[in-house]
Structure 1
Amino acid sequence: MKVTIVETNPYPAKIGQYLDLTVQVENVGRERAEDVEIEIVPEYPFTLDSEENAVQNVGALAPEKFASKEFHLFVDKNAQKGVRTIDIRTRIDKSSPWSEKTFDIRIGTETFDSKGTVELAEIVSSPEVFMPGDRGTVTVTLKNTATTPTVTIDGSDYDTNARIQVAVLRPLSEEVIVLDAPYEEMGLLGPGDSIRLTFNVMVSEDANEGTHNLELAIEGNSFDYNSRKNIPLEVDSSNVKVIPSKPLKLVNGEATLEFDVANTHPNELNSVSIKPEAEGVNFYPAEYFIGPMDSDELFTIEFDAIADPASENIGGNSEPINLSLSASYSNGINKHENLVSNLRIQPVEENEGGSSGLLATGILIVALVAGGVLIYRRRQQKNR
């Protein structure tokens, strides 16, 4: 089990107030865990709202699946500002031993006289548009908007450095999960300086299409310079479409099948390949590799289809053959596959100059020869 604190609210924790911890556990093994439990072991200055809530049951967890639980803690009113630790334990069932991990929890913020202001300069998502179930990153660029080293306010001089004490990305719905802990003590940003922060995120498999908003909370020089920024994340399930571009016919056991492949997703997809399958039919190439495809790009591909002589399903049979096409591709680091399975290949037997044609040709030749003999004999009679 991999355990992570995915959200601390508020962050940093406030002295004399309640703190909500969202703890995520993920099954990174190869076997199903049948009865997963999470236990939080708080020490001063943290206390649980109720000792009965120290252990929470997650239940069964399949490989590569995750679940989260929320714990409510109180921060003692006499706590000091700084970083404190808390232990979180997990086990796969009641007969297994606990596995423990220690996490840092920040309490309170410092106040500085610097007057630099941190602003959100850029947001980059990778992939640009997520599909349900995708993992990726959100990278934000923070910039100190000051233009001079110092500023004078009410007759006093202040430096314009900006401090980023804490930066945390929080999802505003359960359909998006942030996998990283908050950034802490990022140091000073001088006038005009910038810094990039990257957060790993995951979209749930049942996420709705559209824009999902996340919140970037920044603790700056002081309370007056704290800010919250909206971070949009786009989710779209559109994918690679494969459409026949001419009739699917197998003439005398052979055909050249043509398909249009279209990327209907809003951003580029990589490693696009198409693989056909039909019982009793061999395809060349066995798989067509296209590579990267831009959004709305259309690519036309061809397969040579040849009936397998040993197949009992084709020889002398005019019944349609079931054809399936699988389209595999990557959206960022995520592998996807679509299956088109409602296609039919119609076998057709055609006479290519067969017995009837040969018979007609033979009659014509015989007629011409007979006519020639007749003309030759008549000429001989005249010459006599």
Structure 2
Amino acid sequence: MRKNAYQNKKISRLSGFVILALIALALAASVSAETTTLPQIKVTLINQEPDPVAPGNTVDVRFRIENEGGAAAQNVDIKIVPDYPFSIYGSESDVKNIGTLTGYQTGDVGVNEKWNLLVDSNAATGDNPVEFWYRTNNGNWIKSGEYDISIQSREAVLAINQIKTEPESIVPGTKTKVSFVLENLADNTLRDIKLNLDIYTELATASSVTFRELPFTPIGSGNEKTLKLLMPGQSAEISFDIFTDADADSKVYKVPYALTYYDSSGTDFEKEGIVGFIVESEPDISVNIESTEIYQAGVKGNVEIKIVNKGFSDIKFLDVNLMEGENYEILSNPEVYIGKLDSDDYETAGYTILVDGDAGDKVTLPLKIEYRDANGHLFTQEMPLELPLFSGAELKQRTNGKSSPFTAILIVAILAIIGIVIYRKIKKGKKKKE
């Protein structure tokens, strides 16, 4: 009897634990579902330039602000709070307004902002934080986090003051010059400076380590360059000629680099970093009339317009608008949203229009298309199309001798009117005879 009571008590406790666990899971799911419908601001430190920065110099710090939530963040203000050894340089404001962040505005379509900071001349080597804050609709300020800025004293400091590509945007299938501008901030000569571009990306898995080749190939040299020596205060440029594969996707590629050198005492130094290569090709969009039911003036029918992506990169958020024009009326929705259009692919947009009877031998259809490329840049193009109209023998040739539906209806109506008139005359004549 006691044994049964003990077992019942044990089962009751276990059931209570199970119920509590289910309630906790339901609450967690409810909170998770709610947060996806709210703005979720994410702030990332993109880079600092130069990296590291020497005491007494200025440094550009770039942040990316994204909205990972489903709702828009309205009237967003952002600011940085630099403590010692940093201060805002010049007349630049520490507070900036970036407007509205739409829901899921992330990645390349996020907002990038930059501040120029002055580093105190007595700053010590190391990482020092700056605070980043934001608010929406003039509400309370929210601290996003603290972001470290790297400082290194002038002792054996070899700074990368600039990394530039010529041209700035890399086009697939072309050669690009990538240059690193180095400056010796030390008080002694630096020797055997080696710069290595790592065009292979290491991918570590649970079972092995593999390598993925980036779509870049050094031309005329290897992926490592050497500079024998660099005097104090002197600057030098190390350049690579890089060929980009013709089938490279349009996006930002992160290419690791390693810089090694020795000071006059023989002490070796090494620093690693990442350079971003922006690969993008100018979108190449063409439009033409794929099919039409309209061959003559005074006719209503459908027109199919073909939009072709002939460029190297995909496009997204494609929106096609047929604008109002002369000698026709748009009977269908003038706006057709297509969305994503892959490279070497096409989509069609259909419209129903009524052409005026006095339209002449053609009608111009003004198209306005808007889209973003793979890197988020917005493009707007106006592309007029001519719809030819025919008559006589040309019309018969185009329609294989068949009348358009409008023409057939018109002929039937005319014949019906003639028939009614004749019928009434005959009927009237019979009445007179009687």
Does the TM-score normalized on the shorter chain lie above 0.5? no
TM-score w.r.t. the length of structure 2 is 0.39
- Structure with more relative contact order (C-alpha pairs < 8 Å, separation 6 or more): 1
- Compute the TM-score of the two structures, normalised by the length of structure 1: 0.43
| Structure ranking higher in helix proportion | 2
